[in-house]
Structures are given as C-alpha cells and as structure tokens.
Amino acid sequence: MENRKPRVAIQGIRASFHEEAAFKFFGDDIEPVECSSFKQTFEKLQAKEADYVIMAIENSIAGSILPNYTLLMNYNFPVVGEVYLPIQLHLLAYPGVKFEDVKVVTSHPMALRQCLDFFEAYPHIQLVEGTDTAACAKRVRDEKLTDTVAIANTLAAKLYGLDVLERRIESNRTNYTRFLILTDHNDAEKIQANKASLCFQVGNHVGALAKVLNIFAGQELNMSKIQSMPVLGKRNEYNFYVDVEWEKQEQYDTAIRQILKYTQNFNILGEYLKNDGPPTP
C-alpha cells in the first residue's frame, strides 16, 4: 500500500458528500471506490478491494443514522478516525439554463428536505427524489436536462461541468455530518488516541447504566455521544453506543477496567484522534 493511493470506499458516486469528506480526511491523493450502499462499502473492505471505509454516522439535523451502527457491530472493523463536514447545498444546472426555465429539482430526499424553505417561494417547481446528490447532478449533465436542476455540492458542479444557479440554499447554515473512518487493520499503535467509540449492554435493573456513566465522570472522561438501540429479538435489552474523550490515557484505561465489571458484550469499536468538532459555517 506504500506505493499506491489509499483506496477509500464511499457510499455513492464521485462528488458525493462521502467523497468530499474523504478528501477532507485523507487529502486529494486517494482512489475513491464507488459503492451503491453502506453495506457494500464494508464488503469492499472485507474483500480487500478497499483499504478504508468512510461512513456517515450522524447529521446535526437528521440525527444518528441507526442502520450504520448495526454495520459497525456486524463487521467489527476498527474505527480509526472521524471527520466533520459542513453540508452546503447548491442549485446546479446544465450550462446555459436560466432559473426561470426550471420546472423540476432533483436530489437525495435528505437534501430536498434541508432546502424546503427556499422552494416555498417557487411552488411551481416540482421536487423529485433521487438516490444520491451527485448521481442527480450527473444525470442533469448526461441527459442535458434544460428544465431540471439538481441539489448537490460544489464538487459535483466542478466534476460534471454544471453551473451554480443558487448557492447555499439549505435552510440551516450550521448543518454538518460526522463521518467515521474504518479499516481492516488497527492503526491505534501509530497514534496517541484521545477518543474512543464503545458498545456494551447493561443489566435491566435500576441504576445499571448510571453506574457506567458515573465511572466515566469519576475518571473525568467526556462522554460526547450516547445512542441506544434494541438488541434484535430480545425484549428490554439494548446496545449502548458511547463516544468518550480523555486527556490522560491512564484515566481512560482505568475507566475501561472498571466498566467491564458492570457490562456485558463490551466492545471497543475504535480508539482514534478526535476531530476538532463541528465546523462553523
């Protein structure tokens, strides 16, 4: 791998937000591996057809992407990094098309929902859902559509040669998505980790989860996220996904040793360097 670009599996096609996030984390010198689903990104990594997976895990408006937590557990690849990407949405048109020509706008359902305020002033424009922001932009280019525009990022405008009719049409200017980076080998020994993603279960009795959370507090670990999901087929049993951050490694090590006494099916999904946090618009 030293002599070639890292192959990064992305959900979607070139110029998707996943590719943009991959560029932000790895730099431009990568080989994106296009995948039609999140599951396929993991399959590419498992088959050695990719070196890394980059996967959205939460959005500041839509919340956690719950099926992706299941993929984390099912495939058990270590998380080795994270990146936050501001989601900036633009109206892209085939060259020469004017705004007054537009009858249809197409994009991923999430992108359409994030731009509804803009289109309230244009009730004659039909909103049509597509599979992917970049794929919708590519379709406008490939089919030379003159009455249809796409909502996508500037990466898509550049790659597919489209004009930007309107910039930043998203309703919430502080919208961002957090992505996780996974691989089939553990890079933890190469870095001084200060953040971890954990998964565990606790007993179904009073104070069971509180004991674990108090251990984090006692060791001065910052719990930056907690997400619960039902254990498939088991009533009143939940997996808890927790992200913790620390300043002193010994505090984290002590907390993990103590937590093992109060949890079942404890998993460290990954230890990595924390990102600076959500970006400012």
CATH superfamily for domain 90-166: Periplasmic binding protein-like II (3.40.190.10)
User: What distance in Å separates the CA atoms of residue 32 and residue 166, rounded to the nearest whole number?
Assistant: 28
User: In 10 A of CB 75, how many CB atoms?
Assistant: 16
Whole-prediction pTM value? 0.91
Is the domain spanning 7-86+175-185 CATH 3.40.190.10? The answer is yes
User: What distance in Å separates the CA atoms of residue 103 and residue 94, rounded to the nearest whole number?
Assistant: 13
Taking only the tens place, the pLDDT of each residue in 118-130 is: 999 999 999 999 9
Q: Domain coordinates of the chain in residue numbers?
A: 7-86+175-185, 90-166, 189-272
User: pLDDT value at position 235?
Assistant: 86
Q: Are β-strands 126-129 and 195-201 bridged in parallel, bridged antiparallel, or unpaired?
A: unpaired
User: What distance in Å separates the CA atoms of residue 228 and residue 141, rounded to the nearest whole number?
Assistant: 42
User: pLDDT value at position 110?
Assistant: 86
Fold of the domain built from segment(s) 189-272: Alpha-Beta Plaits (3.30.70)
Please say whether the beta carbons of 181 and 52 come within 8 A. yes
User: pLDDT value at position 280?
Assistant: 52
Name the more confident of 186 and 62: 62
Tokens 């200060």: give the residue.
Answer: 194
User: pLDDT value at position 40?
Assistant: 98
Same fold, 7-86+175-185 and 90-166: yes
Taking only the tens place, the pLDDT of each residue in 204-257 is: 899 999 999 999 999 999 999 999 999 888 888 999 999 999 999 999 999 999
Find all residues with CB under 8 Å of 239, minimum gap 6, and list them.
Answer: 69, 73, 199, 200, 201, 228, 229, 230, 231, 265
Given a cut of 70, whether residue 7 has pLDDT beyond it is yes
User: pLDDT value at position 267?
Assistant: 96
Q: Taking the chain, what is the end-to-end CA distance rounded to the nearest angstrom?
A: 36
Q: What is the mean pLDDT of residues 78-105?
A: 97
Among 113-117, 138-142, 189-193, 277-281, the range scoring the smallest mean pLDDT is: 277-281
AA letter at 227: Q
Given a cut of 90, whether residue 187 has pLDDT beyond it is no
